[in-house]
Structure 1
Amino acid sequence: MVPSGIYILALLALVIAAYAATPQLAPAEQLFSPLVAEKIAKVAAAPPNPIQYPQYTDRVEGDWIWFKPDEWTTGFFPATLYAMHKRAQLCPSISGNASQWLELGRSWSTGEISLEHNNTLGHDVGFVSYPFMLELGVNSKNATAQTAVIAFAADLAARFNPIVGCTRSWDTADPTDFQVIIDNMMNLQVLFASYELTGNQTLVDIAISHANKTMQNHIRPDGGSFHVVEYNATTGAVVARFTSQGYSNSSTWSRGEAWGIYGFSNMFKHTRHLDYLETARRMAAYWIRNTPSDGIIPWDFNAPLVPPRPADSSAAMIAVNGFLLLAEQEKSVFNESGAIYYTNEALRMLQANTALAWRPEWQSLLANGTVNNPEHNNLTGIVYGDYFFVTAGNQLVELGLASCV
């Protein structure tokens, strides 16, 4: 019998209470290696002409493979440069000049400007918005960033179907075939960012509706998740639940689960709706319960062990950030033991997966990422894995849980 969500949450509460006295774990020391700044700066200093963006590496030498700007991953390298701007403010002795990182972030972001009016990204406009949202954190009056965030949010809102209650993820030949992927929980952030600029409450309403439907139809009772839910665009009925990048239609693809943990924690941060916090907890409980004893995150939690299933360091790094965000939300509701619990789980995951994937000789910071295992694209460095690796280090310093050396 599958445990109910209430049973899982009750069990988790007992585990958290017992875990509260656990000593704080140390962060992965590679987070603050001089190689972090050196490798990112070397790539940033030589942009291709015309502009292209790194997405993943080859599997042998670890050299970046470059893609045109109209890709869902385009925003991650510029966002990494903004993360290094933050790192240089936090750790100037090992990270270089903050203003130079900021200039690099702005320079690399210019290649995305054309996407405001002409892109094929669909729902992924949220991901390419990252550097512009980060720019607004530096200079809230930056007109270029404001225009980009508002335009990309409008693109995402235009994909909302009120009958389904979601924004469409992938376009299909049949207009009644309305597919939504769990990844889209991450794109909702641009709606909140645009709301802060415009006061357009409709954007928040769309985000809440999408999150509610995802919570209802993507998340299983045990806290695992479906990758894709297909709706009928005319009736709003669920037609099918399946996977595109996971092992099977009934399995839990780890990167999708990581998007969900982060996405629902973020929805609670913005709305204070407790259902989102409880959903993030349930998904985190599934993650912890299904993580192997060595701490290495597999590309799919239900993939067979034989032949050896590849790891996904990118899913691990997204989840690290998601767990730290969840810990922050637990603190906000005065659940200190829960905050300690999720923080220690994040540190444990960070240690194990960094030890596996750290590659000083590669252009990427980490290896052992899985882009798309059904297409045999694994054992690579991945740009979003590196981005979330850097941001994890920044968060730990800001929280007083790590030093810069």
Structure 2
Amino acid sequence: MVAVFMSCDKKTTDKTAKATDTDMLLQKIDTALLQATKQYEFLAEQVKPGQYPKTYHKDKDTLEISDSGWWCSGFYPGTMLYLMEENQSEKLGAETKAFLTDLQREQFNTTTHDLGFMMFCSYGNAERIQPNESYETVLMNSAKSLASRYNDTVKAIRSWDSAPWNKAGEDDLVVIIDNMMNLELLFWATEHSKDSTYYNIAMNHANTTMNNHFRPDYSSYHEVIYDEHTGKAKAHLTNQGAADASAWARGQAWGLYGYTVMYRATKDEAYLKMATHIADFILQHPNMPADKVPYWDFNAPNIPNALRDSSAAAVMASALLELSTYTEGAQKDEYLASATTMLETLLSPEYFATLGENGGFILKHGVGNMPNYTEIDTPLTYGDYYLVEALLRYKKLNTTK
């Protein structure tokens, strides 16, 4: 009987401690979101509509910007929309409106597969928060532009129009793992228009990627080159990873997030299994650090001295929080615990910028493209976006019971 009482006491103590830890993290998140709002108000003072923050060069104290055609253009307005949901800001409201107006020209851009990043992270959030016909029109046109890149022989959406660094020829179709992130726009388009064409394209692309992009251990290649006339996979390569056979960290994050979205949209158990397999590869990898911010590549040559990629951790945390809602038991607990550790680390001074530093960006220590040595150990606009999304998801999971 005594042992039973002791066991109950221990369970009660553990439950109380867990609740206290959650409350403390929620308080930390509230503070972080308020600081992030102020940080983006500061960032807004550094740019004008049409000048999309891309990264910051600390050594030169200069902000690098892009035009609306850059694949990251949707993240700046998208992050502001997330922050305004949490903390109203007149300055961010005006900034978001101006940038959405500028960005709308990209709805007709058929030269890129990144319209999900560009238009759904921006206009998709705007439409979700305040549905209106003008936003819906932009999103539908964007989905049509994205769908125009679909090849029904390969059954995949063309990522890059060319990849000369990989000697891709005229009859080749290049698909990168990142493209899984653009399918959410197509699901929205089917839901809105009731036209299943977009839904079927998304399913076919996800299936082709599942069959050809992943190794037996569920790590993914960065890119696959197909013969667009036969649909056959010809080569498995990388552009941003350490090697063709390595596991580029953000690529694993894109796959994890993408197949989690696929399950949300279709409720097909095959996608849930895929998402959990990818999650397990990431979390159980011997090179995953204890603080759960991965090295830029799980097979980087100079681990443990390799650079970490905070942007990959932000994407992983957001995906794991959603994936935890579709799983149960020990698996659910592991995903929640790992996402929590990621957020705790990313909110530490090592990664979370103080007000006015980091060029106005929120998150430090991202790695864009190590092999080409661009955006190395620097803030990244998508790192900010997925961090804020993850913080909001954590709050929602722990405040709505």
TM-score by length of structure 2 reads: 0.86
Q: What code does the residue aligned with 1:341 have?
A: E
Q: Secondary structure of 1:241's match?
A: strand
Q: 1:191 aligns with which of 186, 190, 195?
A: 186
Q: Which residue is equivalent to 1:109? A: 100
Cα distance change, pair 47–383 in 1 and its aligned pair in 2 (3 A): same
1:296 Cα deviation from its structure 2 partner? 2.9
Q: Which residue of 1 aligns with 2:295?
A: 298
Structure 2 counterpart of 1:48: 48
Check conservation: 1:323, 1:342, Cα contact below 8 A: yes
1:309 shift after superposition: 1.1
Q: Deviations over 1:61-91 (max 9, x none)?
A: 6653111111000000000111012212xxx
> Which SS does the other structure have where 1:300 is aligned?
coil
- Cα distance in 1, alignment partners of residues 302 and 330 from structure 2: 34
Q: Kindly indicate whether the alpha-carbon contact (under 8 Å) linking 1:313 and 1:369 is maintained by their aligned counterparts in 2.
A: yes
The residue number in structure 1 matching 2:138 is 148
**Cα pair 2:77 2:100 within 8 Å, conserved:** yes
2:321 is the alignment partner of 1:324: yes
After superposition, the CA RMSD in angstroms is 2.2
* Partner Cα separation in structure 2 for residue 359 and residue 30 of structure 1: 14
Number of residue equivalences: 368
Distance 2:129 2:77 in 1: 14
1:126 equivalent to 2:116? Answer yes
Match of 1:85 in 2: 84
Work out the CA distance in 1 between the residues paired with 2:305 and 2:364: 17
Alignment of 1:7-46 (within 5 A): 23=18, 26=22, 27=25, 29=28, 32-33=31-32, 34-45=34-45
CA pair 68-177 structure 1, distance change in 2 beyond 3 A? same
CA distance in 2, matches of 1:392, 1:31: 13
Shift of 1:230: 0.7
> 1:242 aligned to 226, 237, 254, which one?
237
- Aligned twin of 1:166: 156
Q: Secondary structure at the match of 1:319?
A: helix
Structure 2 gaps of 5+ residues are 1-13, 163-167
User: Cα deviation per residue 1:316-361 (whole Å; 9 max; x = unaligned)?
Assistant: 101101101111222xxxx254333211110112222443312212
Task: Report the residue type matching 2:155 in the other structure.
Answer: G
Which TM-score applies when normalising by structure 1? 0.85
1:44-72 Cα deviation digits (max 9, x unpaired)? 245326x2101111143665311111100
1:263 aligns with 2:263: no
**Alpha carbons 2:291, 2:342 under 8 Å: kept:** no
Contact conserved, 1:298 with 1:310, CA < 8 A, in 2? yes
Instruction: Give the 3 Å change call, closer, same or farther, for CA 145–287 of structure 1 in structure 2.
Output: same
Q: Displaced runs of 4+ in structure 1, greater than 6 A?
A: none
Match in the other structure for 2:165: none
**Code of the aligned partner of 1:346:** A
Corresponding letter in the other structure for 2:381:
V
* Contact persistence 1:32–1:393 (CA under 8 A): no
Question: Using the alignment, how far apart are the partners of 2:250 and 2:142 within structure 1?
Answer: 24
Residue of structure 1 equivalent to 2:384: 386
Q: Aligned letter for 1:357?
A: Y
Q: CA deviation at 1:117?
A: 2.6
In structure 1, what is the Cα distance between the partners aligned to 2:291 and 2:153?
45
1-structure distance, mates of 2:396, 2:304: 41
C-alpha deviation, 1:168, in angstroms: 0.5
| Pair 1:358-2:364 in alignment | no
Structure 1 unmatched ranges of 5 or more = 1-19, 89-95
Is residue 170–residue 179 contact of structure 1 (8 Å, CA) maintained in 2? yes
Matched to 1:292, the amino acid is: P
Look up the equivalent residue of 1:167 and give its one-letter code: I
Alpha-carbon deviation of 1:135? 1.4
Conserved? CA contact 2:346–2:363, under 8 Å: no
Deviation at 1:302, TM superposition (A): 0.5
- Other structure's SS at 1:69 match: coil
Q: Separation in 2 of the partners of 1:100 and 1:365?
A: 17
The CA distance in 2 between the partners of 1:366 and 1:324, in whole Å, is 19
Distance (Å, rounded) in 2 between the aligned partners of 1:87 and 1:375: 37
For the pair shown, the structure with the greater C-alpha radius of gyration is 2
**Deviation of residue 370 (structure 1)?**
0.3
CA apart distance, 1:307: 8.1
